[in-house]
Amino acid sequence: MNDFTIIWKNLFRKKLRTTLMLIAIFVAFFLYGMLASVGQAFDSPGSSDDKNRMVTLNKINFTQFLPISYYDRVARVKGVTQASHSNWFGAFFQDNKNVIVSFAVDPPTYLAIYKEFDMPDAERKAFLGDRTGLAVGRAVADKYGWKVGQTVPISSNIFSQKNGSHSWDFKIDAIFDNSKVKGRDGLMIFHYDYYNETVSFGRDNIGLIVFSTETPAINDAVAKNIDAMFANSPYETSTDTAEAFSKSFIAQLGNIKLIISLVVGAAFVTILLIVGNTMVMAIRERTREIGVFKTLGFSGQRIFTQIVAEALLLSLLGGLLGLSCAVPALLLINKISAGAISGLTVQPIVFVKGLGWMVFLGLVTAALPAWSAMRLNIVTALGRK
């Protein structure tokens, strides 16, 4: 027998009480793991983007179009090494609940910029050469069980074909992964030409122009030049880094981080009070036993350490279990959303911070009872029946 035996047996002497505390801590850290990871995902939406990747949009907002002619002009701006364009398609598969992030793009230039979309050479070649071809991100392909070679009807909640149909048939030529950020492949792309020739309205319009600069150092100057070029035209532009664009896009979803902090904070304060109060009660019930330990010759410090260790053990058990369960839960969300919220995993930073909070919880809830146990007078303790 060693001190750990005593600590462990003390912790589980009242199984129901300890179980309830463990559940409270579990729930709080499960919530924390989930929400902090979601917050983290929103915090770094541009991390897959290169620093020299930039985006030109209609100045009014990102739902407004630009004429395709702007693409050629941006491509020729000094400092721009590679340009492409894309168009939000508003796609869904069969049921309009099955929303799929998808863009009508110019495939050769688009894939030259988005080098992280990684597909086998043969599939890439097939996709580039097939006007009605579709390149599907792994998450989407997995969700719908799609294979290369299959033809799928994709509908749009914005556009329709000249023949009145809302649905386009695409042949799946390629399935790609994101080689830079694992799992950030919940999207698909197809040929702008196919879309532009068949669409019933909005011909020769594009949603945005994406391009690479020679070096991030000239980003600001290039942006200024481009926006100046189109100033006072019917379609004024706004140019910024792709990373900044993603961030501002997210900002429109509301201050998610603040809400997350409030929810997690409230849960945390609640368990702090519950566990703190329960620890005080639990140790008070043991007053006499603590008196006996001291009578036997156990020092006040040793008893202090035992109680702190007991509280740490409690919060680490509940907390680590909660954080660990957040991992499969996020995987599930990832699967259901087909990667729409990209990069959703419990990141190491969330784990480390969580561990810090567990230690904090253990120390704070143990502090008062451990201190009074250390100071406890033996005669007083033994006198209490």
H helix runs in the chain, sequence order: 3-11, 15-43, 69-75, 107-113, 121-129, 138-144, 192-198, 219-229, 242-251, 256-285, 287-296, 300-336, 348-375, 378-383
- Spatial neighbors of 179 by CB under 8 A, at least 6 apart, are 115, 116, 117, 118
Shortest Å distance, C-beta 20 to other proteins: 18
- Spatial neighbors of 243 by CB under 8 A, at least 6 apart, are 45, 46, 47, 49, 51, 53
Residue 204 or 285 having the CB closest to other proteins: 285
By C-alpha distance, which of 164, 174, 172 is closest to 198? 164
Strand bridging mode 133-137 / 208-213: unpaired
Q: What does each C-alpha distance from 176 to 117, 220, 341 come to in angstroms? A: 6, 32, 17
Shortest Å distance, C-beta 32 to other proteins: 31
Q: Enumerate binding residues for other proteins (CB under 8 A).
A: 1-3, 5-6, 9-10, 13, 288-289, 292-300, 378-379, 382, 385
Residue 2 or 232 having the CB closest to other proteins: 2
Shortest Å distance, C-beta 385 to other proteins: 8
Residue 13 or 182 having the CB closest to other proteins: 13
Contact 175, 135 (CB under 8 A): yes
Shortest Å distance, C-beta 285 to other proteins: 11
Residue 251 or 378 having the CB closest to other proteins: 378
Q: Would you tell me how many other CB atoms lie within 10 Å of the CB of residue 248?
A: 14
Shortest Å distance, C-beta 367 to other proteins: 21
Shortest Å distance, C-beta 266 to other proteins: 34
Residue 283 or 326 having the CB closest to other proteins: 283
Residue 110 or 293 having the CB closest to other proteins: 293
Backbone φ and ψ of 60, nearest 5°: -65, -60
- Spatial neighbors of 385 by CB under 8 A, at least 6 apart, are 288
Residue 123 or 289 having the CB closest to other proteins: 289
Shortest Å distance, C-beta 302 to other proteins: 9
Shortest Å distance, C-beta 283 to other proteins: 14
Q: How far apart are CA 300 and CA 381, in angstroms?
A: 13
Shortest Å distance, C-beta 8 to other proteins: 9
Contact 212, 71 (CB under 8 A): no
Residue 221 or 378 having the CB closest to other proteins: 378
Backbone φ and ψ of 187, nearest 5°: -155, 170
DSSP state of 11: H
- Spatial neighbors of 1 by CB under 8 A, at least 6 apart, are none
Q: How far apart are CA 226 and CA 204, in angstroms?
A: 20
Residue 258 or 378 having the CB closest to other proteins: 378
